[in-house]
Amino acid sequence: MYEISVLLRDVWKSYKFGSELTTVLRNVNAAFKKGEMIGIHGPSGSGKTTLLRIIAGLERPDRGDVIISGYNLNLLDEVGLSMIRNSIVSYIPQDYGLVDTLTVFENIEIPLLISGVDKVSRVKSVSEVIQYMGLKGKENLTPSHLSGGERQRVAIARALVTTPSVLLADEPTANLDWSNAIKVMELFRNVRKDFNTTIVIVTHDPRVLEFVDRSLNMVEGTLKEITPKT
Ligand SMILES: Nc1ncnc2c1ncn2[C@@H]1O[C@H](COP(=O)(O)OP(=O)(O)OP(=O)(O)O)[C@@H](O)[C@H]1O
Ligand SMILES: [Mg+2]
């Protein structure tokens, strides 16, 4: 028996441009196991970010169920969704979403401040994740003083500080050279091994898919399984 950590059932999403309705996701179905590392591949504009934001509880689908660690997001109000975002799911945005005026330490601390964690516990958790991500010595720098690879690691650290069950990474290697991309993908592998985290990685780089357990293709708004390599 394995545990399903993300279940998508007949998920649909459209956006309105003036009077025109564009359907981005149509009948998306998927089940991701606990501790599984999933790659979602697809061209620009195919709906990858939209899907991750729906799994993260940042956007609601028009139709369909999103069930994360047993919680049906449709049944939760905004308070419930923010609880899920602060404890169960972490989303790493395509542009990292770091605050330029805050230090590395303060950026990583944000989710714990939102959750109302006390100062002693915050310092302990942030210090641990800084150590784990190899960011020791960079605590007091602001993001503009970091390399691209370091910025990505800060974004991952901020996502991990709440010890989520599900980690969603939107194009985590897009702004990195290949040697830094490999480092980031190996980091995700370590996270999966050390914490049994379910990790969903969206990418348009087929090389990234070499690092995941299972790859899915976003085709015309629907997820299709890519035939496993033989
Ligand atoms: N908030 C929004 N309002 C209106 N349209 C949107 C919104 N978000 C996304 N879209 C549209 O939905 C489609 C899919 O966008 P999405 O960002 O999910 O694609 P993507 O696969 O992540 O692309 P990329 O690889 O370029 O990041 C695009 O046509 C986009 O313009
Ligand atoms: Mg995107």
- In terms of domains, do 159 and 170 share one? no
Ligand 2 geometric centre to CA of 129 (Å): 26
> Do 151 and 184 form a contact (C-beta atoms < 8 A)?
no
Q: What is the DSSP letter of 178?
A: H
Q: Whose CA is nearest to atom 7 of ligand 1?
A: 15
Contact residues of ligand 1, CB 6 A cut-off? 15, 24, 42, 44-50, 94, 204
- The dihedral through the CA atoms of 220, 34, 186, 133 has a sign that is positive
- Rounded CA-CA distance 162/87 in Å is 6
Neighbours of 155 (CB within 10 A): 24
Cα 151–92–172 angle (5° rounding)?
A: 65
- Both tokens of residue 42? 């697809």
- In terms of domains, do 146 and 180 share one? no
- In terms of domains, do 196 and 212 share one? yes
- In terms of domains, do 76 and 108 share one? no
- In terms of domains, do 153 and 182 share one? no
Q: What is the DSSP letter of 60?
A: -
Identify which of 24, 28, 59 to mutate to test ligand 1's pocket (most ligand atoms within 8 A of the CB): 24
With helix as H, strand as E and coil as C, how does 63-98 read?
Answer: EEEEEECCEEHHHCCHHHHHHHHHHCEEEECCCCCC
Range of the domain at 197: 1-88+165-230
- In terms of domains, do 12 and 77 share one? yes
- Rounded CA-CA distance 6/34 in Å is 8
Q: Whose CA is nearest to atom 4 of ligand 1?
A: 15
Name the pTM for this structure: 0.94
pLDDT of amino acid 220: 85
Ligand 1 atom having least distance to the Cα of 218: 21
Ligand 1 atom having least distance to the Cα of 46: 21
Strand partners, 30: 8
- Reported in sequence order, the residue ranges of the chain that DSSP labels E, i.e. its strands, are 4-17, 20-33, 37-41, 63-68, 71-72, 89-92, 166-170, 198-203, 214-219, 222-225
- In terms of domains, do 152 and 220 share one? no
Instruction: Report the candidate in 24, 72, 84 with the shortest Cα–Cα distance to residue 50.
Output: 24
Domain stop point among 117, 134, 163: 163
pLDDT of amino acid 1: 57
- Rounded CA-CA distance 2/49 in Å is 27
- In terms of domains, do 107 and 80 share one? no
What's the number of domains the chain is made of? 2
Q: Whose CA is nearest to atom 1 of ligand 1?
A: 15
pLDDT of amino acid 43: 87
pLDDT of amino acid 228: 61
Q: What is the mean pLDDT of each run of 10 residues along the chain (230 residues)?
A: 89 92 95 96 92 96 96 95 93 94 98 94 97 96 95 96 96 92 94 96 93 93 76
pLDDT of amino acid 229: 55
Give, in order, the Cα–Cα distances in Å from 112 to each of 37, 50, 121, 160, 215: 25, 25, 9, 11, 32
Exposure string for 7-33, b = 16+ CB within 10 A, e = fewer: bbbebebeeeeeeeeeebbbebebebe
> Where residue 221 sits, what CATH number does that domain have?
3.40.50.300
Ligand 1 atom having least distance to the Cα of 59: 1
- Rounded CA-CA distance 92/158 in Å is 9
Domain stop point among 122, 138, 163: 163
Domain stop point among 141, 163, 185: 163
- In terms of domains, do 129 and 190 share one? no
- In terms of domains, do 39 and 142 share one? no
- In terms of domains, do 84 and 170 share one? yes
pLDDT of amino acid 230: 52
> Do 163 and 187 form a contact (C-beta atoms < 8 A)?
no
- In terms of domains, do 80 and 103 share one? no
